[in-house]
């Protein structure tokens, strides 16, 4: 709810709020979406058509043809809707008097920060000048406390399963798959092979995303989570994978674990840590502790 110009409360045109991120400097970051209608000017051609001179009446009909009344044309929508993303920052330096900064545009949904909040990481669609979809991208932007400025972007692979996660040190982890057609089998039928990958990337000294490491996985990861400073991935069979990210340029799988039975869980709601015990919520069935296997 926000106040309009006449002082009345109204519902804000915002939704899809991101997870709030607390930085060490007492600033809380989150993002939201809102829509805006862009109205186009009427076509010049339609005005010219109306201004064209009418034909003179013929000599046999000096009064000219009788014009029949026509219904008024249905007004056509001349415009389009645009979805924008905004960054909201709340300054809790003075806990008793938090300050909300003015919202600033960003390229997508906030997924992480680094360097004390000076670098923002977002995920969202890019569009061409003709308003056509140009894929989903992960963007890095600098933030000076007032406005955000795009630094670099990397396109997110479209094949599923896929996931991404930004850790506090500014490392971007992406999991995805690639399917390619290979030589036909003995029966002559077409055959496709899917390979699963995990990548680590970071902004380098030239302000560009640089690939640190790429490894192949045995299965596809559909969700990544940073739990207690450790990166955990989940596949579509409810198996969890613990990744060793001590050195982002040397990725490896450090262990795996999972559940027996047919219970499902939400990795984003996990509590605890990898060393002392990772607990997964099971809704009405309570919680379960994960034991890691090398």
Q: Mean pLDDT over residues 163-185, rounded?
A: 87
Pick 217 or 228 by higher pLDDT: 217
C-beta separation of 101 from 88 below 8 A = yes
Q: How far apart are alpha carbons 257 and 238 in whole angstroms? A: 9
Work out the mean pLDDT of the chain and round it to a whole number: 83
Q: Mean pLDDT over residues 217-232, rounded?
A: 87
Residue 293 DSSP class:
B
Q: How far apart are alpha carbons 251 and 157 in whole angstroms? A: 19
pLDDT at residue 4 tops 90 = no
Pick 213 or 257 by higher pLDDT: 213
Give the global pTM.
0.78
Other Cβ atoms less than 10 A from the Cβ of 34: the count is: 15
Give the model's pLDDT for residue 44: 47
Pick 232 or 188 by higher pLDDT: 232
pLDDT at residue 171 tops 90 = yes
Q: Mean pLDDT over residues 38-47, rounded?
A: 64
Q: For residue 105, what pLDDT band results from cuts at 50, 70 and 90?
A: very high
Both structure tokens of 62: 């000096």
Range among 60-74, 82-96, 177-191 rated most confident: 82-96
Q: For residue 52, what pLDDT band results from cuts at 50, 70 and 90?
A: low
Give the model's pLDDT for residue 284: 83
Residue count of the chain, please give it: 294
Both structure tokens of 200: 């680590």
Give the model's pLDDT for residue 45: 44
Q: For residue 72, what pLDDT band results from cuts at 50, 70 and 90?
A: confident
Q: How far apart are alpha carbons 184 and 163 in whole angstroms? A: 31
Q: What is the DSSP string of 146-169?
A: S-EEEEEEEEPP-SSS-EEEE-TT
- Residues 237-261 pLDDT 10s: 888 888 888 898 888 888 888 777 6
pLDDT at residue 219 tops 50 = yes
pLDDT at residue 289 tops 80 = yes
**Sheet order of strands, 133-143 included:** 109-114, 119-127, 133-143, 148-155
C-beta separation of 274 from 292 below 8 A = yes
pLDDT at residue 235 tops 60 = yes
């Amino acid at each position: 709810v926000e106040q309009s110009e006449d002082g009345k409360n109204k519902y804000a045109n915002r939704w899809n709020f991101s997870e709030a991120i607390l930085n060490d400097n007492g600033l809380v970051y989150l993002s939201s979406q809102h829509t805006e209608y862009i109205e186009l000017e009427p076509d010049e051609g339609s005005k010219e058509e109306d201004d064209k001179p009418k034909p003179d009446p013929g000599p046999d009909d000096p009064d000219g043809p009788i014009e029949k009344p026509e219904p008024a044309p249905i007004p056509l929508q001349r415009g389009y809707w645009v979805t924008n993303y905004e960054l909201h920052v709340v300054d809790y330096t003075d806990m008793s008097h938090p300050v909300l900064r003015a919202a600033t545009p960003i390229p997508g949904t906030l997924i992480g920060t680094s360097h004390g909040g000076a670098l923002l990481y977002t995920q969202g669609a890019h569009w061409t000048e003709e308003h056509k979809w140009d894929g989903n991208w992960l963007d890095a932007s600098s933030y000076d406390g007032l406005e955000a400025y795009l630094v670099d972007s990397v396109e997110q692979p479209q094949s599923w399963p896929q996931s991404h996660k930004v850790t506090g040190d500014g490392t971007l982890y992406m999991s995805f798959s690639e399917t390619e057609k290979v030589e036909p089998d003995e029966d002559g039928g077409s055959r496709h092979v899917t390979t699963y990958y995990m990548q680590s990337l970071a902004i380098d000294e030239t302000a560009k995303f640089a690939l640190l490491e790429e490894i192949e996985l045995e299965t596809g990861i559909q969700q990544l989570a940073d739990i207690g400073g450790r990166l955990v991935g989940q596949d579509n069979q409810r198996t969890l994978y613990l990744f060793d990210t001590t050195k982002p340029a040397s990725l490896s799988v450090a262990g795996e674990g999972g559940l027996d039975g047919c219970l499902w869980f939400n990795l984003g709601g996990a509590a605890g840590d990898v060393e002392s015990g990772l607990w997964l919520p099971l809704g009405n069935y309570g919680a379960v502790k994960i034991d890691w296997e090398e």
